């Protein structure tokens, strides 16, 4: 019996050990499965994060920052610039900015604002000043000669002129009264044009001096020194003008003399020592005449249809240069004529550009587009682009 019991006990113990071993194995498998599931979840989270980073990078690649266009000149700084054309869909709106400080063609507003991030190719609207300050003129009924300088100054400033004053002796104009001004009454001038007002100091009390004609060709500083050394005590002012003569093209060279704002065709033998004179000096710039071929059609023949021609100088449309071409009375010889205009005033001593565009009348279709580089110091021009355009 004891033997039998021992056998049964051993059998039970063996069974228990077997069951226990099986339980431990099952628990180990479940733990492994749980670990695998956790790893899968971690990998899924990493994958989601990578997808987010990928989306962010793709978005950043297709995003651009809007630059500050305000203050830029459309024709010379924006139109045709590849970095703007490739990144933005520029919409141009020409409006009167109602601001006399702005130039025609200058951007005065933009949407969206500078610094904003947008999708590449997004629309950016530029508002461009279409007007310059109105032309001004002095009333032909205004009394100038003999009027008190304070009254004339106020009249000129109220009209829109900027007044500079010089003194000069006069036998018939009272002290502090105006002898002359250097603008014509009734003639149109740009807003802000400078006016030289010559004011009387009364009759001359000094003996006249011999006029030193050798000042012509000298620098303005040397000429002024020669005059002073000869006993001249009057006011000396300067007027810079273009000269085409290569011998006198250097800036600051004295080219002529004005007395009481009148250019002397022949220099006087003597002048009053206290009169006001103006030394006319070269501004170092020359007149530049541009001559472009008349637009031709695809067959090489000159276009003889009604045209709308515009000339833009350094970003600012110049109506005076295009007036003759857009005048109904202009009757060109289409076989021999050229597009010709002369630039007598230059925005600076540096090279700058003139753009000539030719369109069909009452149409936006270009027939010709020319871009010309001006060198005002050398008095030369170079056609950077002179193409026939016809879609």
Q: Which residues contact 357 (CB under 8 A, 6 or more apart)?
A: 309, 310, 312, 366, 368, 369, 370
How confident is the model at residue 67, as a pLDDT?
Answer: 94
Paired tokens of 8: 């049964």
Residues 292 and 224 in one domain: no
In a domain, 51, yes or no: no
Q: What CATH number does residue 116 fall under?
A: 3.30.10.20
CA distance linking residue 63 with residue 59, whole number of Å = 6
Q: Give me the residues paired with residue 328 across strands.
A: none
The DSSP output letter for 184 is -
pLDDT of residue 55: 67
**Where among 203, 234, 260 does a domain terminate?**
203
Q: Same structural domain for residues 309 and 377?
A: yes
- The torsion angles phi and psi of 80, rounded to 5 degrees, stand at 80, 0
Name the DSSP class of 76: I
Distance CA 132, CA 105 (A): 9
279 and 297 co-located in one domain: no
Same domain for 115 and 159 = no
Domain-embedded: residue 267 = yes
Cα(4)–Cα(76) distance, integer angstroms? 115
DSSP 8-state symbol, 121: T
Clarify whether residues 82 and 150 are in a common domain: no
Encoding tokens for residue 78?
Answer: 């924006």
Cβ neighbourhood burial of 272 (10 Å; 0-12, 13-18, 19+): buried
- Do residue 154 and residue 116 come from a single domain? no
Query: Do residues 299 and 372 both lie within one domain?
Result: yes
Counted domains in the chain: 4
Residue where one domain finishes, among candidates 236, 255, 284: 284
What's the pLDDT score for residue 102? Answer: 80
Alpha-carbon span 247 to 32, nearest angstrom: 100
1: in domain: no
* 171 and 226 housed in the same domain: no
Boundary residue ending a domain (255, 284, 313): 284
pTM of the predicted structure, to 2 decimals: 0.45
For residue 198, the enclosing domain spans: 133-203
Lay out the sheet containing 254-259: strands in order across: 236-241, 277-282, 254-259, 262-263
Residue 199 covered by a domain = yes
Whether residue 326 lies inside any domain: the answer is yes
Report the alpha-carbon distance of residue 192 to residue 351 in Å, rounded: 25
Q: Is 110 inside any structural domain?
A: yes
Specify whether 319 is located in the same domain as 298. Answer: yes
41 falls within a domain: no
Tell me which residue of 113, 47, 111, 103 sits closest to 77, measured CA to CA.
103
Q: Residues 321, 367: one domain?
A: yes
- pLDDT per residue, tens digit, the chain (391 aa), is 444 444 444 444 454 444 454 455 555 878 888 888 888 888 888 888 887 877 666 556 789 999 999 999 888 889 888 889 889 999 999 888 877 778 878 899 999 999 999 999 999 999 998 766 667 889 999 999 999 999 999 999 888 888 999 888 888 999 999 999 999 898 888 777 889 999 998 887 777 888 888 898 899 999 999 999 988 888 888 888 877 565 566 888 898 898 877 888 888 888 888 788 889 898 888 888 998 888 877 777 777 777 778 888 877 787 777 776 766 666 666 666 788 888 887 877 888 888 888 887 777 777 788 889 999 988 899 988 776 545 4
Say if 37 falls within a structural domain: no
């Amino acid at each position: 019996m004891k033997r039998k019991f021992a056998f049964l006990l051993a059998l039970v113990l063996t069974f228990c050990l077997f069951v226990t071993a099986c339980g431990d194995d099952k628990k180990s498998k479940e733990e492994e499965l749980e670990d695998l599931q956790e790893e899968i979840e971690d990998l899924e989270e990493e994958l989601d994060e990578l997808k987010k980073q990928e989306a962010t990078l793709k978005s950043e690649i297709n995003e651009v920052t809007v630059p500050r266009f305000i203050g830029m000149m459309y024709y010379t700084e924006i139109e045709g610039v590849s970095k703007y054309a490739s990144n933005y869909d520029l919409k141009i709106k020409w409006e009167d900015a109602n601001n006399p400080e702005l130039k025609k063609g200058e951007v005065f507003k933009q949407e969206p604002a500078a610094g904003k991030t947008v999708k590449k190719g997004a629309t950016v609207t530029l508002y461009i000043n279409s007007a310059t300050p109105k032309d001004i003129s002095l009333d032909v009924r205004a009394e100038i000669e003999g009027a008190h300088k304070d009254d004339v100054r106020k009249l000129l400033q109220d009209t829109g002129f900027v007044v500079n004053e010089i003194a000069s002796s006069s036998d018939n104009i009272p002290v502090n009264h105006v002898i002359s001004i250097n603008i014509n009454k009734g003639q149109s001038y740009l807003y802000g044009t400078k006016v030289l007002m010559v004011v009387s100091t009364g009759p001359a009390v000094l003996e006249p001096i011999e006029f030193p004609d050798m000042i012509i060709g000298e620098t303005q500083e040397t000429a002024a020194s020669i005059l002073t050394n000869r006993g001249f005590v009057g006011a000396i002012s300067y007027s810079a003008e273009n000269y085409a003569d290569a011998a006198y093209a250097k800036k600051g060279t004295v080219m002529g003399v004005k007395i009481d704002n009148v250019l002397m065709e022949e220099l006087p033998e003597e002048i009053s020592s206290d009169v006001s004179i103006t030394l006319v000096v070269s501004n170092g710039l020359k007149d530049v005449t541009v001559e472009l071929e008349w637009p031709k059609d695809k067959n090489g023949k000159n276009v003889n249809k009604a045209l709308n021609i515009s000339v833009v100088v350094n970003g600012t449309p110049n109506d005076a240069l295009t007036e003759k071409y857009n005048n109904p009375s202009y009757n060109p010889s289409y076989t021999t004529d050229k597009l010709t205009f002369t630039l007598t005033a230059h925005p600076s001593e540096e090279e700058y550009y003139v753009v000539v565009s030719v369109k069909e009348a009452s149409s936006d279709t270009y027939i010709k587009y020319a871009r010309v580089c001006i060198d005002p110091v050398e008095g030369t021009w170079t056609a950077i682009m002179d193409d026939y355009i016809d879609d």
